[in-house]
Amino acid sequence: MNFSANQELYTYEMIEQTADFLKLRVHFQPKIGIICGSGLGSLAQDLKDRIEFPYSTIPNFPVSTVEGHAGKLIFGFLSKVPVVCMQGRFHFYEGYPLWKCAMPVRVMKLMGVSHLIATNAAGGLHKNYKVGDIMLVKDHINMMGFAGNNPLQGPNEDRFGPRFPPMNKAYDKELIKKSIEIGENLGLKDNLHTGVYTCLGGPNFETVAELRALKMLGCDAVGMSTVHEVITARHCDMHVLAFSLITNECILEYDSQNEPNHEEVMDAAKMRQDTLIKFVGKIVDYIYKERCCRP
Ligand SMILES: O=P(O)(O)O[C@@H]1C[C@H](O)[C@@H](CO)O1
Ligand SMILES: Nc1nc2[nH]cnc2c(=O)[nH]1
């Protein structure tokens, strides 16, 4: 694998080729795209009438290399709504440039997807967050962008969107409000938050000093994904809802005996999978009825 950020960028025609390959094989049009975070692949397991494509069989697609990311694109029906699910996403630390990590979002766009739900596992920085809580992302801090790394780097493809897209309304306020209502109706009132997510390059978890700095900057949860997908989705005018499952506490004290690890992340995700399936199912149902089917 060539790990250089200077790998040849995807052309519009390559993305179109991938979308056409999938359209030929899927007999319905997904309106909502779902990206499953670490250990959250079970969200896709519940789809009815599934059509599955291992990433290695899709032209131009990267492949997943992380445990808890099965590496399949799954089409099917969730709450009777046609959706496409990424059971496994791509991260910068796997060696992929950000534009490659986010490429499936553009494929979804060309397939007719208008709404993206991006989920992730994240460390909880906010003092009130507990493992198992859900944070609806109201904004992000693009730390990788601060360091000059952005999925939209390179010549702009006007057919997707403008050279300089705004990002101050990245997360759909109405969908956040509705998701809170849905969460509360599922008995999640005490486990629901809205907050600011930040993505670091990974793969190491953060130092104490890094976490303290992020907290001072206003970050509530920290992860290694999502931001590049959201930027790419907003660039091509997709509506975005994102949430973090808080899978571990961020360790802010030097004398703590704890160390974060991927197993606890996966365990926390497993513990919450049934609740999240219900939560996402109801959100999808709302989006489809109130947004996608409106005349
Ligand atoms: O894909 P997500 O952001 O859910 O995965 C998080 C970040 C790392 O890939 C992994 C660390 O446990 O979980
Ligand atoms: N960067 C980062 N990513 C995570 N993914 C799940 N937990 C964490 C965390 O604590 N830090």
C-alpha atoms less than 13 angstroms from C-alpha of 65 in its C-beta half-sphere: 10
CA distance 171 to 230: 8
Atom of ligand 2 nearest to the CA of 265: 6
226 Cβ below 6 A of ligand 2: no
What residues contact 187, with CB distance under 8 A and at least 6 apart?
Answer: none
Q: Is 235 annotated as a binding residue?
A: no
223 Cβ below 6 A of ligand 1: yes
- Which protein residue has the closest C-alpha to ligand 1 atom 5? 38
CA distance 109 to 270: 30
- Where is mean pLDDT largest: 1-10, 64-73, 123-132, 284-293? 123-132
- Mean pLDDT value of segment 2-12: 71
Q: How high does pLDDT run on average in the chain?
A: 95
What pLDDT is stored for residue 226 in this prediction?
98
199 Cβ below 6 A of ligand 2: no
- Which protein residue has the closest C-alpha to ligand 2 atom 2? 223
CA distance 50 to 58: 16
Contact 93, 145 (CB under 8 A): no
With cut-offs at 50, 70 and 90, classify the pLDDT of residue 6.
low
Residue 291 has pLDDT above 80, yes or no: yes
Ligand 1 centroid from CA 122, angstroms: 7
Predicted confidence (pLDDT) per residue in 103-162, tens digit = 999 999 999 999 999 999 999 999 999 999 999 999 999 999 999 999 999 999 999 999
Just list the catalytic residues.
Answer: 38, 69, 91, 93-94, 121, 224-225, 248, 262
What pLDDT is stored for residue 73 in this prediction?
97
CA angle 158, 159, 163 (to 5 degrees): 25
Query: Would residue 169 count as lying in a domain?
Result: yes
Out of 37-46, 81-90, 150-159, 244-253, least confident range: 37-46
CATH (domain of 268): 3.40.50.1580
Contact 33, 113 (CB under 8 A): yes
Residue 120 vs residues 24, 161, 247, 267, 283: alpha-carbon distances, Å: 30, 25, 9, 14, 16
CA distance 92 to 149: 10
Please tell me the total count of domains within the chain: 1
For residue 151 the two structure tokens come to 């999925």
Ligand 1 centroid from CA 37, angstroms: 6
Residue of 89, 120, 142, 222 with the most ligand 2 atoms within 8 Å of its CB, for mutation: 222
Q: Which helix (H) or strand (E) holds 33?
A: strand 32-35
Residue of 224, 245, 270, 272 with the most ligand 1 atoms within 8 Å of its CB, for mutation: 224
What pLDDT is stored for residue 294 in this prediction?
59
Query: Would residue 21 count as lying in a domain?
Result: no
With cut-offs at 50, 70 and 90, classify the pLDDT of residue 66.
confident
268 Cβ below 6 A of ligand 2: no
What pLDDT is stored for residue 292 in this prediction?
82
Higher pLDDT, 259 or 2: 259
Q: Which ipTM value was assigned to this complex?
A: 0.99
Closest CA to 119 of 244, 281, 283, 279: 244
> 44 phi and psi, to 5 degrees?
-85, -20
Closest CA to 238 of 139, 293, 171, 288: 171
Closest CA to 202 of 123, 276, 263, 88: 123
DSSP structural state of residue 169: T
Query: Would residue 22 count as lying in a domain?
Result: no
List the domain range (segments joined by +) for residue 128: 29-152+161-250+259-292
Residue 21 has pLDDT above 70, yes or no: yes
Residue 5 has pLDDT above 70, yes or no: no
Query: Would residue 101 count as lying in a domain?
Result: yes
Atom of ligand 1 nearest to the CA of 205: 11
Query: Would residue 175 count as lying in a domain?
Result: yes
Q: Can you spell out the DSSP letters for 48-85?
A: EEEEEEEGGGSTT-----STT---EEEEEEETTEEEEE
What pLDDT is stored for residue 46 in this prediction?
85
- Mean pLDDT value of segment 220-230: 98
68 Cβ below 6 A of ligand 2: no
248 Cβ below 6 A of ligand 2: yes
Query: Would residue 190 count as lying in a domain?
Result: yes
Q: Is 225 annotated as a binding residue?
A: yes
What pLDDT is stored for residue 2 in this prediction?
41
Query: Would residue 56 count as lying in a domain?
Result: yes
Closest CA to 119 of 86, 144, 151, 94: 86
